[in-house]
Amino acid sequence: MQTVKKELLETLARVLDTLLPGAGAKAAFESPKVAAHGDLATTAAMQLAKPLKASPRQLAETLRAELLLTEPFQRWVDTLDIAGPGFINIRLKPAAKQAVVSDVLAQGAQFGVQSPRGQRLLVEFVSANPTGPLHVGHGRQAALGDAICNLYQSQGWEVYREFYYNDAGVQIATLATSTQLRAKGFKPGDPEWPEQAYNGEYIADIAADFLAGKTVQSDDRSFTASGDVEALDDIRLFAVAYLRHEQDLDLQAFSVRFDNYYLESSLYLSGRVDAVVQKLQQAGQTYEQDGALWLKTTTYGDDKDRVMRKGDGSYTYFVPDVAYHITKWERGFEKVVNIQGTDHHGTIARVRAGLQAAGVGIPQGYPDYVLHTMVRVVKGGEEVKISKRAGSYVTLRDLIEWTSKDAVRFFLLSRKPDTEYTFDVDLAVAKNNDNPVYYVQYAHARICSVLASWGGDRTTLGSVGLSVLDSGPAQALMLLLAKYPDMLTAAAADFAPHDVTFYLRELAASYHSYYDAERILVDDETVRLARLALVAATAQVLHNGLAVLGVSAPQKM
């Protein structure tokens, strides 16, 4: 049906250009708000009314008459109706809807995937400091980042996944001293235990392995413990490597990978932070006040100027962020997306201001941000706030172990990132229609069961006749299959993987309705093969959509 829609859209554009040169560039179809009104709609007549100084309704009549004279509209369109002030509702012939079945079966996993466009995207996500296990907020970020990467890959982008973390600073120093105290035999609650120290059981595990002289290996580093409790720097390096290894295990369990790990410390060691400060000073965008160096961020829309360098000579945290994003630009990433918690909202204006003030050619609005809220976890009807292992929060690993990787991914992607979300552990393991991931996966497994019962060669289904697929439930299912490519495109543009979850639930519901309405394995071979082709195409689109989310499509449940 994508081919059909393309033909109709090109025809609409040509006709619009005859009414007003250049108008065809804005030709577009939308889905009617009420399904009974038609399969496609266009508001072109209302858009042309003002420049042509004509009645939208009269223009709609003219446009309708011209479209009905064209060969594509005669071949694919059943009716063209005018509604309201000038809407044109289009009802397609069954053959137009049936075309999507052949398209899906021919393209398989590539259905909905666009050709390479020669553009590169860098997505930075998770970016957890190596001071403890990944919590459920990191899990939401991992699911969002990975799904957004998959969405952009489906649209032909070359996508690069990056993890940025602070391997220095106050938090890392606290990690080192906490581990050192554990290694010396102290524990939370002892008089010697500082209030700001990390209390989780993982600190005791790090200390024990350090004393045992173990070697830890993570994706980006390796370190062997000296076992010397007085060697604080060795303890720091070992603890960071240990926790990076633990985080790698969490991410592997979540099926998330990264192309690069970028260290904040490298920005200082390479001189990039100092270079950025010098650029800003030379550009006249800084001033000294109260012993600190300030950046004129109000020039670029911030609500107040921001301190860059404090009185003690240390830089505030947004300064290395500016240096870091300049490296992204210099590495050729003209589009960059950062997935971060809503607590980073204040960072956006100052980072963008710093990038503009640096005068290195970066456009306004760079980078893009997707901000997400934290996640509440409910188990047995009560909120779970503490993990023994972490000491003060529920970890991503806890959530995966309580439910499954598939459930965690689907659930964490099922709402807009900036909305509050409660993860119901009991619902995530329920095997019923109230569990959205189970509902979608069951639809796929149910189709696989039907195909297995048939036992024929699935590759032959792409060439069977489809004219018998003319019932209401069949046409509704085909129309929904046809919406998949456009849904992917819109979801990518809006950084909205939740749209994929909504679509999959709707598609699963449409399949279940079709299954209940029409028996598939009937005696009539023509009908049987056509219906098998339709459900096989449905299984393929369910599989494709779940893959975008990083969720499996089981054949048996």
Cα separation, 46 vs 50, in Å, equals 8
Helix (H, G, I), strand (E, B) or coil at 173: helix
Cβ pair 326, 333 in contact under 8 A:
no
**CA 122, 546, 513, 458 torsion: positive or negative?**
positive
DSSP letter at 127 equals -
Mean pLDDT of the chain: 94
Per-residue pLDDT band for 16 (boundaries 50, 70, 90) equals very high
Q: How far is CA 49 from CA 56, 59, 69, 86, 258, in A?
A: 5, 7, 22, 9, 51
Cβ pair 206, 179 in contact under 8 A:
yes
CATH 1.10.730.10 in the chain is located at 433-549
CATH architecture of 433-549: Orthogonal Bundle (1.10)
Cβ pair 531, 522 in contact under 8 A:
yes
| Start-to-end Cα distance in the chain | 31
Is the pTM higher than 0.85? The answer reads yes
pLDDT at 392 over 80: no
Domain 125-263+373-429 has CATH 3.40.50.620: yes
What are the structure tokens assigned to 266, written together?
């490298």
CATH 3.40.50.620 in the chain is located at 125-263+373-429
Cα separation, 258 vs 236, in Å, equals 24
CATH 3.30.1360.70 in the chain is located at 2-92
Per-residue pLDDT band for 387 (boundaries 50, 70, 90) equals low
Cα separation, 437 vs 428, in Å, equals 8
Residue 369: its H or E element: strand 368-372
Residue 549: its H or E element: helix 525-549
| Percentage of residues of the chain with pLDDT beyond 70 | 99
| Percentage of residues of the chain with pLDDT beyond 90 | 88
Cβ pair 39, 79 in contact under 8 A:
no
What are the structure tokens assigned to 95, written together?
């053959």
Condensed to tens digits (0 to 9), the pLDDT of residues 111-129 reads 999 999 999 999 999 999 8
User: Is 401 exposed, middle or buried (CB count within 10 Å of its CB: 0-12, 13-18, 19+)?
Assistant: exposed
Condensed to tens digits (0 to 9), the pLDDT of residues 495-554 reads 999 999 999 999 999 999 999 999 999 999 999 999 999 999 999 999 999 999 999 999
Q: Helix (H) and strand (E) counts for the chain?
A: 21, 16
Residue 21: is the preceding peptide bond cis (ω within 30°)? no
What are the structure tokens assigned to 430, written together?
């329920």
Cα separation, 95 vs 467, in Å, equals 7
pLDDT, average across residues 234-241: 94
What are the structure tokens assigned to 479, written together?
């129309």
What is the CATH topology of the domain spanning 2-92?
Gyrase A; domain 2 (3.30.1360)
Cα separation, 498 vs 504, in Å, equals 10
Residue 37: predicted pLDDT = 86
Per-residue pLDDT band for 134 (boundaries 50, 70, 90) equals very high
Residue 242: predicted pLDDT = 95
- Residue partners of 91: CB distance under 8 A and separation at least 6: 38, 39, 77, 78, 79, 80, 81
The DSSP bridge pattern shows strands 222-224 and 215-217 to be antiparallel
Neighbours of 529 (CB within 10 A): 19
pLDDT at 388 over 70: no
Which residues lie across from 407 on neighbouring strands?
A: none
Cβ pair 116, 373 in contact under 8 A:
no
- Strand order in 286-289's β-sheet? 286-289, 292-295, 306-309
